[in-house]
Amino acid sequence: MNSFIFQNPTKIYFGENAIRYLGDALKPYGKNILLTYGMGSIKKSGIYDATMDILKKSGKCVYELSGIMPNPRKEKVYEGIHLCRKHKIDIILAVGGGSVIDCSKFIAAGTKTDRDFWHAFLVNQEECYDALPLASILTLAGTGSEMNCGGVISDFENKLKLAYSNPLLYPKFSILDPTYTYTLSHDQTTYGTIDAISHILEVYFSKPDDSNLSDDLAEAILKNIISSYFQLLSSSHDYTAKANLMWCTSLALNGLLSLGKEGDWMSHQIEHALSAFYDIPHGAGLAIVHPNYLEFVYKSAIPKFARFARVVMGVKYKGKTDAEVALDGIYALKDFFRAIGAPTKLQDVNISESAIEMLANTVIVYPTSYAKKFSKDDVKTILHACLEHKSRKYEGGLVP
Amino acid sequence: MNSFIFQNPTKIYFGENAIRYLGDALKPYGKNILLTYGMGSIKKSGIYDATMDILKKSGKCVYELSGIMPNPRKEKVYEGIHLCRKHKIDIILAVGGGSVIDCSKFIAAGTKTDRDFWHAFLVNQEECYDALPLASILTLAGTGSEMNCGGVISDFENKLKLAYSNPLLYPKFSILDPTYTYTLSHDQTTYGTIDAISHILEVYFSKPDDSNLSDDLAEAILKNIISSYFQLLSSSHDYTAKANLMWCTSLALNGLLSLGKEGDWMSHQIEHALSAFYDIPHGAGLAIVHPNYLEFVYKSAIPKFARFARVVMGVKYKGKTDAEVALDGIYALKDFFRAIGAPTKLQDVNISESAIEMLANTVIVYPTSYAKKFSKDDVKTILHACLEHKSRKYEGGLVP
């Protein structure tokens, strides 16, 4: 187990009607609130009205930034920074999923610096010294942004999607009401689920691979995510399944599972190129890239991949070598993603072979746990593997 | 899953030589430090010198409160409060295990109130409005006090051992160096391990028992605790096992596993009577009481107890009813505690049958998840069961 430093100060209000705590939770902050949200679904669902009602009763002065898109763009951050300065905003309240919360984090940081937020934080990864307080009301489970201090912003003009994290960007509090996710589309639930699974695997499949509590917790959360997701296929309003899925996706990236581990994150780096160029859902890109990345590196950690196949993917392993079981597990993951309706090859999201060179050139590469000399050529090899959904025979797995 | 509110602000510095962060971690606080510790083991181990060296280099003015005993007594808290007021202490640094940290928490709270800390907090459970900042350097894994906001204090004169918690009592930071636990005795490691297992079971065996991520995480941590403990039997300086055990015991009671669950804590209530009267190690009392408490209530939650037997205790279950498997699991737990050298009946700690009436009368009883009419008579029934280590035949279990 590697050494680590850990602190996660975000306060979580979890459960049906948890929004009733909003007024009290906002008391320590000033009067001027910037309410940020997406493309209007919170108006249809009634969450907007419920929020505004509480804010008005609490005597807050509410300004709004709407229209934050999936894969949030830097232009939207500048718009938010302008509003915060103009109206002397005291706290930002993000109502939505990871895109809205991520965008709000950079508005919070960008407002409190003279530097250009994009170049300072995303491009140059400079230190952040101050940020507006931020809180969230979560409506889509997946990214974990509601309980971590990171975020991702896109510059579509220059085809860049970059990540940044800083302890000042933890939400002060987040309200997680599982019933708010009842109205999500099948695709939204699926992509959120895949995003969370990918977050866990990025860390689980990294060194050290000796006995490690974080890996045990990762397996427990993966199994719960998968069983909760299956439960929702037959009963989309199952409160317990929605609640478990929501809490799983928060824990998947709130820092807990990374403790003592290196982390890898190369699948995310490669996917960021896909969504920067083609504006595809992050979860869709991960469903294509992540299993193929794992297939590229698995020979460096066969016992760990075999453990994953047995414990999480339910692959039958009697009479097989660890190497065979390890590969079976990766194919069981591919088959699971395809079975739940996610794309599993580039063509499924209208990306052709001719784009691979260009995509690979924008990926930030570095030595990873299982590939010490990982290069842009390796990215190309992986993206070529993403052109085909190959099959492999195995027994067991998650798909009946 | 029940609704919950969760926030744990304690910063953890984890790993070998994590004490190197002490100087930086103390920077936000004032100059006057009260260093609290136990019976002198930190002087033998060198941890005292290492700590004082950093404090002096950091220009701190150090006052000391030593001699904090296992099952810390209220008199020691008064002594600490007196020192804090006299020397205008800015922060308390507790170096030790749960007893030292618990005692320091009530010094922190007691210093900042005009009320008598014992009556206000422990007896009357009144609100705490202010407390001195507190930090810890952990030398004994078990209670989880280094990462939670609760503590237990004893009044031996009146045979009372009472608990209290308040968010102001979270340590600001805790330093967890697994190598600091290399020099613990077998009994210290064993009792710390049993305490942590008991903390987990108090919550795991409570409602709701529908699918719940917290239960999955509980099983993962229980399995890791048990395998790490066994690893240490053959190799007492195994860093990975010590690190896992230390982190497991912190997570066992840092709030995470309670989320969405009622919690029970009746085994702890009963044990507190034992250690209040006989000053026995808390872990020893729990090894006697907890399995017998579980045997008293298990018929109210047979599927859950059968799951525990299968998943955690490794009981063979083919061809058996859930009720049989459930009981097998409890006996496997009893046998595990006995096999690792813990007492499993009252006589093992020199408590006789004649004491049961008196002990039961001091236990605070309330309706629990699985025993809605739990009474003092039930406590007596359980303590009578604690007079004998009964056997039961089953296959599997943890003891080879």
What would the pLDDT profile of A271-315 be if each residue is shown by its tens digit?
A: 999 999 999 999 999 999 999 999 999 999 999 999 999 999 999
The chain A residue lying nearest B247, using CA atoms, is A213
Domain ranges of chain B: 11-181, 186-385
Average pLDDT value for residue range A360-366: 95
Name residue A5's beta-bridge partners.
Answer: B13
CB contact under 8 A, A14 and B221: no
pLDDT of A400 strictly over 90: no
User: Which of the four pLDDT bands, split at 50, 70 and 90, describes residue B378?
Assistant: very high
pLDDT of A10 strictly over 90: yes
Name residue B61's beta-bridge partners.
Answer: B32
Query: Most B CBs within 10 Å: which of A13, A17, A173, A211, as the mutation test of the B interface?
Result: A211
Nearest Cα residue to B129 out of B109, B148, B145: B109
Contact B12, A260 (CB under 8 A): no
State percent of chain B over pLDDT 90: 99
Compare CB distances from A224 to B3, B11, B216 and report the shortest one's residue. Answer: B216
CA separation for the pair A274, A277 (Å, rounded): 5
Give B58-61 contacts, CB < 8 A, sequence gap 24+: B58/B22, B58/B23, B58/B26, B58/B27, B59/B31, B60/B26, B60/B31, B60/B32, B60/B33, B61/B31, B61/B32, B61/B33, B61/B87
Mean pLDDT of chain B: 97
pTM above 0.95, yes or no: yes
Query: Is some CB atom of chain B closer than 8 A to the CB atom of A14?
Result: yes
Query: Most A CBs within 10 Å: which of B6, B181, B213, B235, as the mutation test of the A interface?
Result: B213
pLDDT of B400 strictly over 90: no
Average pLDDT value for residue range B178-186: 95
Query: B-chain residues within 8 Å CB-CB of A220?
Result: 213, 216-217, 219-220
**What is the pairing mode between strands B91-96 and B32-36?**
parallel
- How many beta-carbon pairs below 8 A join chains A and B? 117
Question: How high is the pLDDT of residue B66?
Answer: 98
User: Which of the four pLDDT bands, split at 50, 70 and 90, describes residue A86?
Assistant: very high
Preceding omega of A208 cis (within 30 degrees of 0)? yes
Q: Is B87 helix (H, G, I), strand (E, B) or coil?
A: coil
Question: How high is the pLDDT of residue B119?
Answer: 98
CB contact under 8 A, A7 and B10: yes
**What is the pairing mode between strands A4-14 and B4-14?**
antiparallel
pLDDT one-digit tens code per residue, B151-176 = 999 999 999 999 999 999 999 999 99
Does the domain made of A186-385 have the CATH classification 3.40.50.300?
A: no
Nearest Cα residue to A17 out of A46, A56, A58, A60: A46
pLDDT of A176 strictly over 90: yes
Same-fold call for B11-181 versus B186-385: no
User: Looking at domain A11-181, which of 3.30.300.30, 3.40.1390.20, 3.40.50.1970, 3.40.50.970 is its CATH number?
Assistant: 3.40.50.1970
Task: Kindly state the tokens that stand for B24.
Answer: 């930086």
Average pLDDT value for residue range B222-243: 96
DSSP A333-358: HHHHHHHTT---SGGGGT--GGGHHH
pLDDT one-digit tens code per residue, B9-49 = 999 999 999 999 999 999 999 999 999 999 999 999 999 99
- b/e map B158-180, b = 16+ CB within 10 Å: eebbbbbbbebbbbbbbbbbbbb
Nearest Cα residue to B110 out of B32, B173, B169: B169
In this structure, what are the phi and psi dihedrals at residue A176, rounded to the nearest 5 degrees? -120, 100
Nearest Cα residue to B285 out of B151, B205, B382: B382
DSSP 8-state symbol, B128:
P
Query: Most B CBs within 10 Å: which of A174, A181, A216, as the mutation test of the B interface?
Result: A216
CB contact under 8 A, A7 and B4: no
Nearest Cα residue to B59 out of B87, B31, B22: B31
The chain A residue lying nearest B245, using CA atoms, is A213
User: Which of the four pLDDT bands, split at 50, 70 and 90, describes residue B318?
Assistant: very high
Mean pLDDT of chain A: 97
CB contact under 8 A, B217 and A219: no
Average pLDDT value for residue range B282-293: 98
Compare CB distances from A15 to B3, B217, B247 and report the shortest one's residue. Answer: B3
Tell me the shortest Cα–Cα distance from B218 to chain A, in angstroms: 9
